Structure 1
């Protein structure tokens, strides 16, 4: 379970004196705890792993945006710190599908649903997310779905 891996990584980082990893793992745990609190007020998540993966993917996306902004602003030391956090966070994410595998999954769903054009994009994206949310960056998948349907 990803939560157990995160907890074990924090303990290992504390024992090793690895401040960067310890800090990144603490941020991960805080984000997951916040998401757990949000989930209490709404619909309970169907799958705990999916909830944790969603949080981790969101954290990676935020940090990549920050890296881009820091590099444009000439703040390389801040960009490097964010890159370190991304590397730690990505250790806990499931392996991502390659572009070829993603395209194959899109084609299979497109055929299965009988999708023919852009009007079917919502249905294809919903099915893709239902089947492969933890293995895909949905923003990149969106571009591939558009290409497949046009």
Structure 2
């Protein structure tokens, strides 16, 4: 009996001990358990991926809504600023028109006042001049007659 024979016998005994101790079943169960764990991890990863895709889609939708809302806010602000600008322009024009009209009224009143003053001054100068002329040309008797006739005219107009 040579060494090859004993090596074969040892191998057969070793394999029999392994079969008796159910090592191949334990290895199979271990491999099956590991395959189940890997399968479960893959399933969990697939679910996480789906959840992540749903979250991504939801965030993208929310981002689009926020962008649209921001655009709407900007458009509303632009419309409001244009409206405020138009109102301010209109109020400014109305204010300028009122101030111009008031200034024109003041100028017209000043012109009337100046004309009245010039007329009053002209009347005063004319009366003074007429008084000097009459004083130089009319004597006391003629002055008295003129005075009496003037008083009579005034009385007749009053009655």
Q: TM-score, normalised by structure 2?
A: 0.21
Which is richer in helix?
2
Structure with higher Rg: it is 2
